[in-house]
Amino acid sequence: MAHRYPIRHLPPAGLLSRVMLAASLGLAAPVLHAQQGADADTPPAYRGPAPVSAFGSGPIFVPVQPNTPNRFSLPETTVKDLQQAMKTRLVSSEELVQMYLARIAAFDDAGPRLNAYLAVNPQAAAIARAKDQARFLPGTTVGPLYGVPVALKDIVDTVDQPTTGGAVGMAGSVPTRDAFITRKLREAGAVILGKLTLTEFANFVTSGMPGGYSSLGGYGFNPYNPVVLPGGDGRPLLSPAGSSSGSGIAAAANLAALTIGTETSGSILSPANANGIVGIKPTVGLVSRDGIIPITADQDTAGPMTRTVADAALLLGVISGFDPADPATAACQTPGRCFSDYTQFLNPGALAGARILVPPFPANRTAQMNAAIALMEAAGATVVRRPTALTGVTAPGILNYGQKRDVNAYLDRLPETWPIQSLADLIAFNNANAAIALRYGQTQFIASNALDISPGSADTLTYIANRDLGFAQSRTSIDGTMDGPDGLRGTADDYDAVVYSGAGSAGLWARAGYPSVVVPLAFVEQDAAQIPTGISFAGRAFGEPKIIALAYAFEQINRGRRAPASAPALPTDTVLRGDVNGDRAVNNLDLAIVTARVGETATGPYDKADIDGNGRITRNDVAALRALCSTKACAAPAAPTGAAR
């Protein structure tokens, strides 16, 4: 389980373990029973009549229709699958939360101890329960993420949970308001499941900090080989990469439906690549950074980290858009730059006629990249291999200056009672608690804090010059390359994307603020384990529609995603329609319960005994359950105890 340290100024609530949270939610371990009968794995579809709601003039739920699926399995499920299961009352949002909590307990706190979460949300189940009760009520807006459990990198503000950046000095820091993207997620109906670990303060505390390490959370482990480096300092043998390590781990191991990461340079793309998932690093200005612990506003962005391109596109549409608190998003007020729905660009045939440029790739990825190129060509793309890398940036970096300016601005929005109000305060806290706060030092913090960020200072003038030169060099390099051999934009020889092995686009594209999408490509052997490797599609500013389309088309023909063996399916991952008592089988015990309740009004839209969904428990439900039953005992008619109504 994630580490918790007793720091003197922290409130006790910041030290709650997930065991205590689970207990407070009443999440006792379920009693599991094996299904019986040859047809246990394939329960038949409900074939009864389409019922009419008995809950008044407007239905409070969608009644179960004939031939509706009756089995739900959590691992690798998509948002589309989740919404279908909730809409048809097969599974509730509260059940989903509990199922994910069971996986977190099994694989994050125990088993391989992946350590993706810093904290789960103690209110998640209650929030989900309220959404379940409201889902089918007239007037309820069911957004694209309604009832879907989403986990956030613990750098994104949540008004109901601490936001720590993984730093012990920030443990217990509860913001006064949600980040802009948190509000957007809640408005779309999402249930915030918890806060995910990361490389501390977005991997800009010091030099040499291992990916996925933080002083508050310890080490996160890549689920594809979750073992400690032999003879090391406790770090993993296979890095989960960073800084959005927890987001990558949780998505890969099916510990959340969707996750959010952030990137300054590689912090979405690298962990997505390392953990075998999809990551979208958006154009800077597409997604607001308000309420997100920063490195620098010049390059920072948040983005989706998911198991499929379709889910990533859906999530990107939810979080994108103009925010008056973030001037960079003013670009979204220009039509055609930002969209609320990126799923409209999911085109399985997008590679046909596309022009793709592939710069040199590492020698140890030759076989995988050659195979990818062959697939793209077979799908109708023209692939041009570039013999040299794109022109790089010679301008010095600007992260230290930006960090002092923007971290100070972030801390300034915290309550005045919070003892850390500046980067200098955080440095001082770390020095006073060095044994737990400074395992790897804080050289970057110190370098950033030493700069003079006052207007007109020498450091400010140097920063402006380096920032502007870096933008010019990176954008000229990318735009000029994508304009094709004739150097003219909008002509037939333009490239639709530059395609890299893994997260190869991270550095240059991050400096420009341009978008990239990484998707799983293949598996390679390393340290006697099969580990994932990806491929990234990089494009022009606000070119997300094009690169999402290309990444989706490639994903559909390649199918490079494979769930990690360290986090297999649990018995609690499966839900069957008709399993009234929750023993993971449909049998005569369930039949007896439903029979005994004939004549009762359903307790709500997700009453398991209301099989046909008409709002009352009737003989139709008894008949429907008998059809679903996985044991011969259910075939015998059962005497009802009440009349059907």
Assess whether 24 carries a catalytic annotation.
no
Query: Where residue 533 falls among pLDDT bands split at 50, 70, 90?
Result: very high
Among candidate residues 108, 113, 88, the one with its CA nearest the CA of residue 151: 108
Rounded to an integer, the average pLDDT of 462-469 is 98
- Looking at residue 593, its pLDDT comes to 96
Closest CA to 226 of 215, 235, 216: 235
pLDDT of residue 629: 86
pLDDT band at 634 (very low <50, low <70, confident <90, very high): confident
Please give the pLDDT value at position 117.
98
Which of 3-12, 231-240, 289-298, 591-600 comes out lowest in average pLDDT? 3-12
Beta-bridge partners for 537: 499, 517
Q: Which amino acid is at 401?
A: Y
Structural domain contains residue 473: no
Cβ atoms of 154 and 80 within 8 Å: the answer is: no
Is the pLDDT at 310 greater than 80? The verdict is yes
The CA distance from 310 to 500, in Å, is: 21
User: Choosing from 173, 243, 320, 448, which is the catalytic residue?
Assistant: 243
- Answer yes or no: is 30 within a domain: yes
Tell me, yes or no, whether 292 lies in a domain: yes
Tell me the torsion sign for CA atoms 256, 258, 262, 263. Answer: positive
Mean pLDDT score, 173-179: 97
Say whether pLDDT at 143 is over 70.
yes
Instruction: Tell me what the mean pLDDT of segment 264-286 comes to.
Output: 98
Judge whether 304 and 350 are in contact, CB under 8 Å: no
Q: CA torsion 567→571→577→580, rounded to 10°?
A: -140
Check residue 614 and give its pLDDT. Answer: 86
> Is 53 an annotated catalytic residue?
no
Residues 78-107: tens digit of each pLDDT: 999 999 999 999 999 999 999 999 999 999
pLDDT reading at 414 higher than 80: yes
Q: What is the DSSP string of 85-141?
A: HHHTTSS-HHHHHHHHHHHIIIIISSTT----EEEE-TTHHHHHHHHHHHTTSTT--
**In terms of residues, how long is the chain?**
645
Assess if residue 485 is contained within a domain.
no
Q: Is 267 a catalytic residue?
A: yes
How far is it between the farthest Cα atoms of the chain? Answer: 88
What share of the chain in percent tops pLDDT 70?
88
Average pLDDT over residues 525-540: 98
pLDDT of residue 633: 65
Residue 621 belongs to some domain of the structure: no
User: For residue 301, which phi and psi values (nearest 5 degrees)?
Assistant: -160, 160
- What residue type is assigned to position 232 of the chain? G
Please compute the mean of the pLDDT values over residues 252-271 and round it to a whole number: 98
Tell whether 109 is covered by a domain: yes
Q: What is the pLDDT of residue 643?
A: 41
Helices (H), 135-179: none
Say how far apart CA 523 and CA 520 lie, in whole Å.
9
Predicted confidence band of residue 23 (pLDDT cuts 50, 70, 90) = very low
What's the pLDDT score for residue 53?
Answer: 37
- The tens digit of pLDDT for each residue in 517-527 reads 999 999 999 99
What residue numbers bound the domain in which 255 lies? 12-42+73-320+342-393+493-566
Q: Tell which residue, 234, 199, 190, 229, has the closest CA to residue 217.
A: 199
Running DSSP on this structure, what letter comes out for residue 320? Answer: B
Is the model's pTM score more than 0.85? yes
**Bridge partners, 4 (sequence order):** none
Residue with tokens 């391109």: 309
Q: What is the mean pLDDT of residues 274-279?
A: 98
Give CA–CA dist 216/198, Å, rounded.
10
Catalytic residue among 247, 267, 270, 505: 267
Higher pLDDT, 306 or 614: 306
Is 575 within a domain?
no
Q: What DSSP line would sit under 577-613, residue for residue?
A: TT--SSSSS-SHHHHHHHHHTTTPBPSSTT-TT-SS-
How many domains in the chain? 1
Task: Tell me which H or E stretch contains 628.
Answer: helix 619-628
Q: How far apart are CA 125 and CA 330, in angstroms?
A: 36
- Reply yes or no on whether the pLDDT at 64 is more than 90: no
Task: State the SS3 of 218-258.
Answer: EECCCCCCCCECCCCCCCECCCCCCCCHHHHHHHHCCCCCE
Strands 149-153 and 191-196 come out as parallel
Residue given tokens 């991050």 in the structure block: 510
Give the integer Cα–Cα distance in Å for 364 and 368.
9
Q: Residue 257 corresponds to which tokens in the numbers above?
A: 């439906």
Amino acid identity of residue 626, one-letter, is: R
| pLDDT tens column, 560-600 | 999 999 999 999 999 999 999 999 999 999 999 999 999 99
For residue 613, name the pLDDT band (cuts at 50, 70, 90): confident
Mean pLDDT of the chain: 90
Mean pLDDT of 284-313: 98
Q: Which long-range contacts (CB under 8 A, 24 or more apart) does 569-574 make?
A: 569/73, 569/74, 569/75, 570/102, 570/103, 570/106, 571/32, 572/30, 572/32, 572/98, 572/99, 572/102, 572/103, 573/73, 573/74, 573/75, 573/99, 573/102, 573/103, 574/71, 574/72, 574/73, 574/74
CATH number at residue 209: 3.90.1300.10
With b for 16 or more beta-carbon neighbours within 10 A and e for fewer, the 415-432 pattern comes to eeebebeebeebbebbee
Give the model's pLDDT for residue 24. Answer: 31
- Give residue 637's pLDDT: 56
Task: State the burial class of residue 258 (Cβ atoms within 10 Å of its Cβ: 0-12, 13-18, 19+).
Answer: buried
**What pLDDT shows up at residue 21?**
29
pLDDT at site 62: 53
Q: Which of 131, 153, 184, 608 is catalytic?
A: 153
Question: With 80 as the cut, is the pLDDT of residue 34 above it?
Answer: no
- Judged on CB neighbours under 10 Å (0-12, 13-18, 19+), 252 is buried
* Domain annotation covers residue 519: yes
